[in-house]
């Protein structure tokens, strides 16, 4: 294995998309790959041109190989995937599926996941040689609360991986990315917050940091005026964090979002990203991951927080204009939007 710019740890599922229809009435689906942590390195590879890899586990059957083929199409290295033997019917382990409809107007997006007992949820500490992964020049490691929520042992794997990354001088980012369905019957938002705070102590950069504010991830939306104090409160909980970042979204309808971002660092204090009111949305799923990819790219290449927020905000906005979890934007398009570009036809 050669060195990578960014490595992510997380689940990669197949996303079944009914297009403009509903899951419960669909007769055909478009199939994509996706996963909160994976989407970040996929965007960093395809849009920003960095060398990336994903650490995950898949069952070695045609469904798992379809996920692998989609990952390969995205340019993400697959050499760190752990393959689990197929028992024929998924009794002992299976690959995750995620059914997502985009929403329209007053009808919001809807996700229905089918991901219990997946191969990646059964990863245990000690199964991956993290020292070998990080010893060959990895610059950045990313994981998050979706992977950590898959099972009790995946939170320990994330802890092990983040600690190893820090030992090797690799920069670490973490996105709490709370999903109520993953914590139902397992302690709910209180346990999610406890887990996220424990893992985020390893992170240099926390994306989605407002998920750690207040009483927990289901505490309700904050007003714009409350965001600076909320990020300062999270900084007090995570004294080792260098950057805390978040998207800011108002949702007049499923098809139109007001989109922006904000961040805090010890060097700059509170900063706001570009404001993009009235963004027309085709598919909002994955836009936060696209923001994270742009933020990481900006921090890796420039170290300038304002520029990183601009990359993240523009990339997230463009990701909402195409279907699927993963970004289809180019770096040229991102930088044109950052410079005030419009939607005029380019010939």
Of 321, 307, 309, 312, the closest CA to residue 290 belongs to 312
| Contacting residues for 282 by C-beta, under 8 A, at least 6 apart | 102, 320, 321, 322, 323
The pTM of the full predicted model, rounded to 2 decimals, is: 0.95
Decide if pLDDT at 135 tops 70. Answer: yes
**Confidence class of residue 343 from pLDDT cuts 50, 70 and 90?**
very low
Decide if pLDDT at 114 tops 50. Answer: yes
Decide if pLDDT at 215 tops 90. Answer: no
**Confidence class of residue 347 from pLDDT cuts 50, 70 and 90?**
very low
Pairing of strands 30-34, 13-17: antiparallel
In angstroms, the CA 266 to CA 23 distance is 45
Cβ atoms 179, 148 nearer than 8 A: no
Question: What integer best gives the mean pLDDT of the chain?
Answer: 94
At 277-302, the pLDDT tens digits run: 999 999 999 999 999 999 999 999 99
Question: 297 is written with which tokens?
Answer: 């790219």
At 74-105, the pLDDT tens digits run: 999 999 999 999 999 999 999 999 999 998 99
Decide if pLDDT at 155 tops 90. Answer: yes
Residue 241 CA to chain centroid, in angstroms?
18
Cβ atoms 71, 33 nearer than 8 A: yes
Higher pLDDT, 236 or 345: 236
At 193-212, the pLDDT tens digits run: 999 999 999 999 999 999 99
Of 274, 273, 275, the closest CA to residue 263 belongs to 273
Cβ atoms 207, 175 nearer than 8 A: yes
Long-range contacts from 331-337, C-beta under 8 angstroms, 24+ separation: 331/47, 331/48, 331/49, 334/47, 334/294
Mean pLDDT throughout 240-254?
Answer: 94
User: Helix, strand or coil for residue 180?
Assistant: helix
**Confidence class of residue 344 from pLDDT cuts 50, 70 and 90?**
very low
Q: Around 262, how many Cα atoms within 13 Å sit in the side-chain half-sphere?
A: 18
Angle at 264 between CA 263 and CA 269, to 5 degrees: 130
Cβ atoms 121, 154 nearer than 8 A: yes
Percent over 70 (pLDDT), the chain? 96
At 45-61, the pLDDT tens digits run: 999 999 999 999 999 99
Buried (b) or exposed (e) across 247-286, using 16+ Cβ within 10 A? bbbebeebbebebbbbbbbeeeeebbbbebeebebebbbb
> Phi and psi of 271, rounded to 5°?
-135, 150
At 7-21, the pLDDT tens digits run: 999 999 999 999 999
Mean pLDDT throughout 308-315?
Answer: 98
Given CA atoms 216, 219, 223, 225 in this order, what sign does their dihedral have?
Answer: negative
Cβ atoms 177, 144 nearer than 8 A: yes
Question: What is the DSSP secondary-structure string of 284-303?
Answer: -TTHHHHHHHHHHHHHHHT-
**Confidence class of residue 118 from pLDDT cuts 50, 70 and 90?**
very high
Question: 311 is written with which tokens?
Answer: 């990359």
At 27-48, the pLDDT tens digits run: 999 999 999 999 999 999 999 9
| CA end-to-end span of the chain | 41
């Amino acid at each position: 294995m050669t060195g990578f710019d960014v490595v992510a740890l997380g689940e990669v599922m197949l996303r079944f998309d009914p297009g403009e229809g509903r899951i419960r009435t669909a007769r055909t689906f478009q199939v994509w790959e996706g996963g909160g942590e994976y989407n970040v390195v996929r965007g960093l590879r395809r849009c920003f041109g960095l060398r990336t890899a994903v650490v995950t586990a898949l069952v070695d059957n045609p469904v798992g190989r379809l996920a692998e083929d989609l990952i390969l199409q995205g340019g993400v290295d697959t050499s760190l995937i752990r393959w689990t033997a197929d028992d024929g019917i998924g009794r002992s382990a299976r690959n995750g599926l995620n059914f997502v409809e985009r929403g329209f107007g007053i009808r919001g997006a809807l996700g229905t996941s089918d991901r219990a007992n997946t191969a990646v949820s059964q990863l245990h500490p000690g199964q991956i040689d993290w020292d070998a992964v990080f010893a060959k020049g990895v610059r950045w490691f990313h994981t998050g609360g979706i992977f950590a929520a898959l099972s009790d042992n995946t939170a320990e794997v994330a802890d092990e991986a983040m600690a190893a990354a820090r030992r090797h001088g690799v920069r670490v980012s973490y996105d709490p990315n709370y999903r109520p369905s993953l914590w139902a019957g397992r302690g709910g938002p209180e346990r999610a917050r406890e887990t996220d705070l424990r893992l985020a102590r390893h992170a240099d950069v926390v994306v989605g940091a407002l998920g750690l504010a207040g009483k927990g991830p289901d505490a309700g939306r904050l007003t714009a005026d409350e965001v600076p104090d909320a990020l300062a409160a999270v900084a007090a909980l995570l004294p080792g964090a260098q950057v805390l970042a978040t998207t800011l979204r108002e949702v007049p309808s499923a098809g139109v979002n007001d989109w922006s971002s904000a961040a805090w660092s010890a060097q700059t204090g509170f900063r706001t990203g570009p404001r993009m009111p009235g963004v027309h949305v085709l598919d909002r799923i994955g836009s936060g991951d696209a923001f994270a990819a742009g933020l990481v790219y900006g921090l890796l290449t420039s170290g300038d927080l304002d520029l990183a927020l601009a990359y993240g905000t523009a990339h997230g906005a463009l990701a909402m204009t195409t279907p699927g979890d993963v970004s289809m934007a180019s770096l040229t398009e991102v930088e044109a939007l950052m410079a005030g570009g419009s939607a005029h036809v380019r010939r």
